Amino acid sequence: MKPASMFFIPNVLPIVLGSLLICTSGVFSAEVGIVRSQAYARRGEPIHLGEAAAQPRLAEAKPRAQPWIPSPGPLPQGLGWRPGKTERLSTETLTSRRPVATSHSSGGPSLADLKPSPLPTIQFPSIEDDGTSATPDTAGAVGPYHVMTVANTEVRVQDREGAVLASLTLDGFFSNFGSDIFTYDPRCVFDAGAGRWILTAAANPNLPDAAIVVAVSASNDPLGDWFRYYVDVDSFDEAYADSPTLGFNKNWIVVQANLFHQVTGTFIESEVFAFDKVNWYEGADSPYSRFHLNAAEHGGSQIPAITLDSVLETLYLVKSWNGNFVDPQTRIAQGLLRIYELKGSIGAEELVAGAFVSTVQESTQPVFTWADSAPTSADLGKQAGTTNRVQLGDSRMQSVMYRGQTLWCSQTVLLPTAKATRSGVVWWEVFPDGQLFQRHLVDDPQSLWSYAYPSLAVNDHYDVLVGYNGFGASSYPTALYRFYPNDGVYNNPLGEQIIRSGEGSYFELYAGQNRWGDWSATCIDPLNDGVFWTLQEYALAPTPQDAGRWALAWAAVTPPYDLQVSSRASTNRLVVGQEVTWTLSLSNRLLSFAYNVTLTNPIPAGLEILSASSSAGEVSIVGDLVYWDLLGVGVETNRLEIIGRATGDTLQVTNRAGVVARGQDSNPTNNVTQLAIPLFNGSPVFSPVVKATAAGSKLLLSWPVGYLGFVVETRKDLSSGKWEPYSGSPSPQGAVQSLELPTDQDYRYFRLRRAGP
């Protein structure tokens, strides 16, 4: 069976950093307890996933045996906390942002005081439990044309509507490093700036060459070629890697892993690997830097950020440091995070332990704290129909993203601090210098519900989506998300939405715990920077053979919006041949963005289009339709200007336009606008086109219906006499006025003339 991640990696009590450790050889960084070395990875032959997945699934499915996984050692003791010294952001940067936010908390799945989060725009299932792993260790990402799900059991590629395109075991994906390779704890991200997929996992925990494995795609197509690398985690062949985490920026792919002794189970150190991203994307063989973080001084699980800044030279890592540190001087308890910085030139990097983030910065009292683990690592998550509870994990950081000069992080926290009986989900926005910007808590103080295993993403409007699991006595383990729109000051929560409700109780003992998790995945759509995707686990109904079954499901979530469109014309009446300008105004009544917006304007009857232009987006004319496409519409007003000329083919020119966008408009009643301008009896700009046609035994004289005030005249001879009014009355027939002409020889000539002197 796939080994599940070690749950509790010791957080370290904050310490005072002493004198710098300096080595003339340059292999030590300027930070106590962080040592740098360099090595080469073992490259494997490229794999073409589409071809490999066409082969049968591997037959050697691993049984649900329970191999021994050692527990970590005791929590190391520290000395006391002082703020780290790091370079602050500029004063301009800090003052341009909002003041420090107070925390927000919210309760169970049904919150009457909150509007619900938007429903998924796309939703489909992915990998299901096949009996070979107690936990999926949910990972995945979304590309421009594919969705990739990675679990302990399987690598699966689907299209963006959910159709399965390829499937291969995780071991099979890395089988070029040995047909009997054993891989676990996967992570997967999509680097939208480079159009590449990155996948990592731990490998061979009980062998001398225990490793992490890394694969990068050769293009944005995950069904194409992949370059794969095998990274030995311990030159002494005594340790194995657990819970590798994955991030990137413009320079590096960064993997962090916690190392445990293969025999004693002692937590040895945290290792951070910095791989040259450009070289690895080309499949090249280049050295990487490895940083060894002393366990007693730094603990584990420093999570590297997914960096959405294409020019940022520094890659940040964030660690949940201590959930309940009591300052020895003030006696104030506080929760602490710590930020690490990877910087320098490629091949000569340094990793620096930087600033602390403290909840003492908040205005709420008492200061927010949390427990880092449950008492005796007990299972706390309630579920319906059974007294068996679900393991909720520990408080290590789960996901980190850098965007807009700040770090956005999420984690599970165990509550209450003194003796945890439940878990909640916290997400943070912090500056790299340790300033806390905002913190939000999803929690049920009545302990009816627990929330755990969150992941987070931030879009280009700084809206936030957090996906996680919910556990309550009235339901089965459920996949959830919550949307936090950016209201211009802070992100405020909307109510929860369910991706998939649990279908049955869950009981899967692993090393004495009813295991679940250990993490989830949430990301931004590379085709649309405003749309979120989240991948979450939920419980399947048990079978007589398996009392604990899980499944994974994707949901795409579009932020709520309220588009409104209005129109005005440059005149309130027309004559034939007159030009008119239609101005359509489009905006969003909510403080958000509407994405993938299309306004459709059918060309009105009786109007000849001369030009169409807009203040933003693209305008095109296809057939008898004007299209106005915009990637996003915010509160600012966008304008489309259509200039046309009345042809006289109608008595009234009616312009009607409607707008749609991705997702569902919260108020579709203002998505259509219509404005009509009548023609009046003024002098036309140009003369009508007159036609005489045969209709059976009759002759018809016709001209555009919009030429008002015209009369038909006749005469017998053009050389003598004068024009006389013709007694017949024209009748409108669609777009023309028609008059039946006599066929006898008394009348030969007819004309259409505007009435008047």
DSSP string, 512-523: TEE---S--EEE
User: For residue range 130-185, what is the model confidence (pLDDT) as tens digits?
Assistant: 999 999 999 999 999 999 999 999 999 999 999 999 999 999 999 999 999 999 99
pLDDT for res 27? 32
21, 455, 541, 545 from 61: Cα distances, Å: 49, 30, 22, 16
pLDDT for res 717? 86
CA nearest to 561, candidates 662, 656, 649: 662
The Cα–Cα gap between 185 and 137 comes to 6
Higher pLDDT, residue 228 or 53: 228
CA angle 125, 129, 132 (to 5 degrees): 150
DSSP tag of 6 = P
* 3-class secondary-structure state, position 166: strand
The Cα–Cα gap between 721 and 269 comes to 114
pLDDT for res 62? 31
Tokens for 57, please give them: 């699934």
Higher pLDDT, residue 358 or 29: 358
CA nearest to 2, candidates 77, 61, 70: 61
Residue 142 bridge partners (DSSP): 147
The Cα–Cα gap between 212 and 203 comes to 6
pLDDT for res 742? 79
Tokens for 328, please give them: 């020895």
Tokens for 472, please give them: 């309550």
Average pLDDT of the segment spanning 200-221: 96
Average pLDDT of the segment spanning 426-446: 96
Provide CB contacts within 8 A for 365, sequence distance 6+.
none
CA nearest to 123, candidates 586, 501, 529, 649: 501
The Cα–Cα gap between 32 and 373 comes to 27
pLDDT for res 727? 85
User: For residue range 710-743, what is the model confidence (pLDDT) as tens digits?
Assistant: 999 988 888 888 998 888 888 888 899 999 887 7
Could you give the residue ranges of the DSSP H alpha helices within 407-544? none
pLDDT for res 29? 38
Q: Is 69 exposed, middle or buried (0-12, 13-18, 19+ CB in 10 A)?
A: middle
* 3-class secondary-structure state, position 418: coil
Contact (Cβ atoms closer than 8 angstroms) between residue 162 and residue 554: yes
Tokens for 528, please give them: 């649309």
Query: Residues of 294-331 as b/e, b for ≥16 C-beta within 10 angstroms?
Result: bbebbbbbbbbbbbbeeebebbbbbbbbbbbbeeeeee
Provide CB contacts within 8 A for 724, sequence distance 6+.
713, 714, 715
> What confidence category does residue 745 fall into, taking pLDDT thresholds of 50, 70 and 90?
low
One-letter amino acid for residue 637 of the chain? T
The Cα–Cα gap between 542 and 465 comes to 30
2, 86, 380 from 383: Cα distances, Å: 25, 45, 10
322, 375, 598, 616 from 629: Cα distances, Å: 49, 56, 5, 9
One-letter amino acid for residue 475 of the chain? S
Secondary element (H or E) of residue 645: strand 638-646
Helix, strand, coil percentages in the chain from 3-state DSSP, rounded to 5: 5, 50, 45
- Is 112 a residue whose pLDDT tops 50? no
- Is 80 a residue whose pLDDT tops 50? no
Contact (Cβ atoms closer than 8 angstroms) between residue 498 and residue 553: no
